[in-house]
Homo-oligomer: A and B are copies of this chain.
Amino acid sequence: MGSGCSSLSYSSSTFIVTASSISSPSSSSSSLKLNPRSFLSHSPRNLSTQLRNQAPLRCGRSLEMESQKPMFDVEKFDDEFVQKLVYDALVWSSLHGLVVGDKTYQKSGKVPGVGMMHAPIALLPTPFPEIYWKQACEVAPIFNELVDRVSLDGKFIQDSLSRTKKADIFTSRLLDIHSKMLESNKTEVFLLYLLVHVNLHSLVTMSWFSFIHFACLCSQDIRLGLHRSDYMLDEETKSLLQIEMNTISSSFSGLGRLVSELHQSLLRSYGDHLGLCSERVPRNASTSQFADAMAKAWLEYNNPRAVVMVVVQPEERNMYDQHWQSSVLREKHNIVTIRKTLAEVENEGRVQEDGTLIVGGQAVAVVYFRSGYSPTDYPSESEWNARLLIEQSSAVKCPSIAYHLTGTKKIQQELAKPGVLERFLDNKEDIAKLRKCFAGLWSLDDPEIIKKAIEKPELFVMKPQREGGGNNIYGDDVKENLLRLQKEGEEENAAYTLMQRIFPKVSNMFLVREGVYHKDQAISELGIYGAYLRNKERVIINEQSGYLMRTKVSSSNEGGVAAGFAVLDSIYLN
């Protein structure tokens, strides 16, 4: 799998796992007075009794479940039982398409059907408190709406990212495309003004060329967002904190559903023995909800001969995740999907006078980016040309350049500042709900925060502004880097963001990859998918669209995080 959003590695989550009890960082945006009962806590003694009795738990939440008692303790499982579960999980994955390309097989990223392997998975769903699950689901449509509102404010995006632009060439190129679109959209604004504020009859007086241009720009009014908002539960503040908002290439909506179904299936067979009920793994329709949203966008575009184009990386071992979406589009909606790299789009693509994007001779209704989110996706000018070409067409872009930029960490940081959410949302309750999820996020311009971070670097993470994940700075390195930057001057500051360090619960879990299981210390991150579709003023879809848990091996070492492998997971509500 590639890096960034399609990767199983946490693209921009920032956490370190220690057993130390560092006091919670106090941040107005993230300190919540939530029910302090400890989730995921393990109390082996209680469990052993429970397992010995092998009494199945009923699906209703018992008083016992409300308490801090664990549901199961991996220490108590004998190897034979685990092997049986693992075998069944591997078989289920193979039969049901929960697969990825095997990196040891040369063609596995290019040709489907060869060099396949089960996806890396957690053997059992990870316990997750229902209250936080509901909270995460509830804010999904509000985040969808926020992204849409922010994306409409071109000036806010350009201003917020103006300093990042200087430090990061990738964001800079994206902003250039965004600027070009702002320029060309001035006509659109004028025409829309005519339409809305004068009267419909103005259209009659338009020249033919103006009408074509207007029709093209109207298609731009179809706005499709397929997002994934990622959260961790912070043990220190007992709160659900947003790690990032993915507005481009939100991966694993295809395989995520399957992991939930795998866990449900295993619990139907072994639930009695484990004291778990399959119905506590929430239904997950991520694949069809995303595909349905694309199908509805395709319908709005209203060209029955047009296709959905998935923009892909030249090699993609996570292709089956993407194929699941195309499969639903084909089987359920009778919509044809084509797959093109950005280089191919530049070669084979053109925009007709009426705005229609033609690639390989086929009209494209919806462009679904599963590439283009990372600097490595643009190795030459060809790819940038393709991105601009797509943006200038009337095809529904998922995401548009504005949606894409709205998902940057810098915008996330801006939105966390006092008073900013109020610029985009009216409903005070909604604003409060979003703010609850914000972890502390600061630019390096704030001398107060810099001072604090140099004093207590263990409470912060330094994140490079560039997208694509990795290279987060922890512990003493935070201090050293801040001191270096203070000497070097302001220019470099914009390349980094400071974030409140989150302390997720560490648990022993069974993780399965390459046919083998590992018992490891692991931490989890919950992703909530959200789909949003709007045609001009008409909001057609705004919903939470399934979920994905990702669980990652976490062996903490002196002040740093030893990167372990990550697996796909689901949740068990408790």
Contacts and interface: CB of A to CB of B under 8 A. Distances in A.
Nearest to A118: B113
A95 B330 contact: no
Nearest to A90: B113
A58 to B, nearest CB: 19
A420 to B, nearest CB: 43
Interface in A185-202: none
A252 to B, nearest CB: 15
A265 B95 contact: no
B91 A113 contact: yes
Interface in A447-470: none
B327 A92 contact: yes
Contacts of A323: 91, 94-95
A515 interface: yes
Given A269-B330, A331-B265, A515-B107, A94 B117 contact: no
Interface string A318-339: 0010011011001100001000
Interface in A245-271: 265, 268-269
A111 interface: yes
Most chain B beta-carbon contacts within 10 A, residue among A92, A105, A112, A330: A112
A106 to B, nearest CB: 11
Contact of A113 (B105, B324, B326, B515): B515
A336 B269 CA distance: 9
A93 to B, nearest CB: 6
A102 interface: yes
A269 B307 CA distance: 13
A115 to B, nearest CB: 7
Q: Is the interface of A mostly helix, strand, loop or mixed?
A: helix
State how many copies of this chain the complex holds.
2
Most chain B beta-carbon contacts within 10 A, residue among A92, A94, A96: A94
Interface in A93-122: 93-97, 99, 102, 105, 107, 111-118
Interface residues of A, number: 35
A490 interface: no
A87 interface: yes
A514 interface: yes
Interface in A112-154: 112-118
Most chain B beta-carbon contacts within 10 A, residue among A107, A115, A118, A514: A115
A102 to B, nearest CB: 7
Interface in A293-348: 320, 323-324, 326-327, 330-331, 336
A111 B97 contact: no
Contacts of A514: 114
A93 B114 contact: no
A370 to B, nearest CB: 15
Given A95-B97, A99-B116, A112-B118, 13 more contacts: A90-B111, A91-B112, A91-B327, A94-B97, A96-B97, A105-B105, A107-B515, A113-B515, A114-B118, A114-B515, A115-B117, A116-B116, A268-B331
Interface of A: 87-88, 90-97, 99, 102, 105, 107, 111-118, 265, 268-269, 320, 323-324, 326-327, 330-331, 336, 514-515
11 contacts: A90-B112, A91-B112, A91-B327, A92-B327, A94-B116, A94-B323, A95-B97, A96-B97, A111-B515, A114-B117, A268-B331
